[in-house]
A = this chain, B = another copy of it.
């Protein structure tokens, strides 16, 4: 069994509690200090980019702020950075090392815009480049595949959303999430056995929508990194606009569908896919959805939808780790990857 990755997955309730305790007040101060802005521009890669995708929903839905994802090549390779008038410029990076992400934040500062770094390393180049820094306090992440820093990034984005939103209830909901994660981790023991079924799976599809589109993207990346499965992630709407043609008999499709505003759209798609012969894996707290599944990734009930991605990724992390084990891959050391990736 992978020791490091397993430890890091299981540390997530504590990491989350520590983050909220240590950074909560700072987040409120940053939000109070920021000048007005029309939209947020976020630069991020890999797992951090999936946290940015969560921000597209959480920040817009709770606070009305639209989010644009940056195109770092414009800064580093084309040398034609866009005009950033009216933007809050945000960089998200576990290591804070990737030059392309740092370049976007530096450009924001050069243009006189407010800048914010979200990173696990407060002494990194990214932290040095930004006006404001929120640290993840996740401890050193020793396994190559990011787990605890991903949920910590999501929680940081949720802290900012709650502070902008202003209602104490949102903050209270977030403070319950460490307990929710403990509950999730208490319900995943069957996944070690269930992963066996997918020993020879070579490709699969992951689908989420709204807040949990980020979960589909992140779980696809975990499967690629840890098991080398060709995993493709889609929103349910994008999936209907073309990729649905790839569904064949027995094709494994994992749907992230906790209770919430997008549930009925996801349920309709799940039913359609079952009719087409797909094998469904379902991450949900809803019995009607679980009943369609060959494999259930259980989620706890009554989690507010806006926070559900923090919980919904965790059974997927556990499934990916166990599938790596079933396939004979060392999940702590995926081939071809280092912990810190520097791209320009």
Contacts and interface: CB of A to CB of B under 8 A. Distances in A.
B78 A61 contact: yes
B47 A65 contact: no
A278 to B, nearest CB: 11
Given A60-B71, A77-B261, A221-B242, A66 B84 contact: yes
Given A80-B61, A82-B65, A39 B246 contact: no
Given A66-B84, A73-B210, A228-B245, 9 more contacts: A38-B38, A45-B237, A60-B71, A61-B74, A61-B80, A68-B69, A73-B209, A221-B243, A245-B335
Contacts of A344: 237, 265
B72 A69 contact: no
A337 B45 CA distance: 32
A270 to B, nearest CB: 15
A340 B65 CA distance: 31
24 contacts: A38-B86, A39-B68, A39-B86, A39-B87, A45-B238, A56-B71, A57-B73, A60-B80, A64-B82, A65-B82, A66-B83, A68-B69, A69-B69, A71-B210, A73-B210, A78-B261, A100-B237, A202-B202, A225-B243, A228-B246, A241-B341, A241-B343, A245-B337, A265-B344
Contacts of A84: 66
A236 B343 CA distance: 9
Number of copies of chain A assembled together? 2
A336 B244 contact: yes
Interface residues of A, number: 71
Instruction: List 7 A-B pairs, minimum CB-CB distance, nearest first.
Output: A46-B241, A68-B68, A237-B343, A60-B82, A38-B86, A66-B82, A64-B83
A230 interface: yes
A80 B336 CA distance: 42
A51 interface: no
Nearest to A272: B336
A341 B87 CA distance: 34
A173 to B, nearest CB: 16
A38 B64 CA distance: 17
A57 B86 contact: no
A120 to B, nearest CB: 15
A22 interface: no
Contacts of A240: 341, 343
A250 to B, nearest CB: 13
Give the residue among A100, A145, A341 with the most B Cβ atoms within 10 A.
A341
Contact of A225 (B72, B83, B242, B261): B242
A274 B68 CA distance: 34
